[in-house]
């Protein structure tokens, strides 16, 4: 099982409960030091838990690709994939490391790419253990305020004039 966004909030609680239930948890984290501290804290309470911490920055397509290659090279199975990481809009319009509006890049593109890159691993695991895998996407209701009547205008994702962080906090 792999989680993205594991070091606080719902992600932290989910990682704890799954480890408590005997699931091998791979915490995909941006801050490895924070992930390592959480891992040690969880292992103090559950010394037999299987927890790994791996670095990923959803703000960078290269980091997502690097993570997926590292995960696959470990030969780990994958039958539960939980997309939990996300950022809220900053007051200032910001680009990702790949020159894509940052909120869209981190909350959507990075998650989608990672899931897509690991899909064959999930299929292989499902065949081997004869149990279908699950991909779980978590989000908030903030999307209701951020999409206008025309939906996502993909041709204008990087248009700073359309960016309005206040729309998320109505």
By annotation, the residues acting in catalysis are: 163
**37 closest CA partner among 25, 23, 27:** 27
**How many helices and strands in the chain, by DSSP H and E?**
6, 5
Structure tokens at 44: 């103090």
- Give the whole-angstrom CA distance, residue 46 versus residue 111: 29
**78 closest CA partner among 34, 136, 30:** 136
Are 27 and 21 a contacting pair, CB within 8 Å? no
- Give the whole-angstrom CA distance, residue 29 versus residue 35: 6
Kindly state the helix (H) or strand (E) to which residue 12 belongs, with its residue range: helix 9-20
Are 77 and 123 a contacting pair, CB within 8 Å? no
């Amino acid at each position: 099982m792999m989680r993205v966004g594991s070091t606080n909030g719902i992600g932290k609680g989910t990682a704890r409960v799954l480890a408590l239930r005997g699931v091998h948890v791979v915490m995909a984290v941006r801050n490895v030091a924070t992930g390592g501290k959480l891992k040690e804290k969880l292992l103090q309470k559950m010394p037999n838990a299987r927890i790994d911490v791996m670095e990923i920055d959803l703000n960078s397509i290269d980091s997502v690709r690097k993570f997926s290659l590292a995960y696959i090279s470990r030969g780990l199975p994958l039958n539960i994939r939980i997309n939990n990481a996300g950022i809220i809009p900053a007051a200032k319009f910001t680009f990702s490391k790949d020159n894509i509006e940052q909120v869209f890049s981190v909350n959507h593109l990075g998650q989608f790419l990672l899931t897509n890159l690991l899909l064959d691993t999930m299929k292989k695991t499902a065949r081997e253990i004869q149990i279908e895998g699950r991909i779980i996407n978590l989000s908030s209701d903030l999307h209701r305020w951020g999409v206008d009547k025309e939906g996502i205008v993909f041709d204008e994702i990087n248009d700073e004039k359309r960016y309005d962080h206040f729309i998320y906090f109505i």
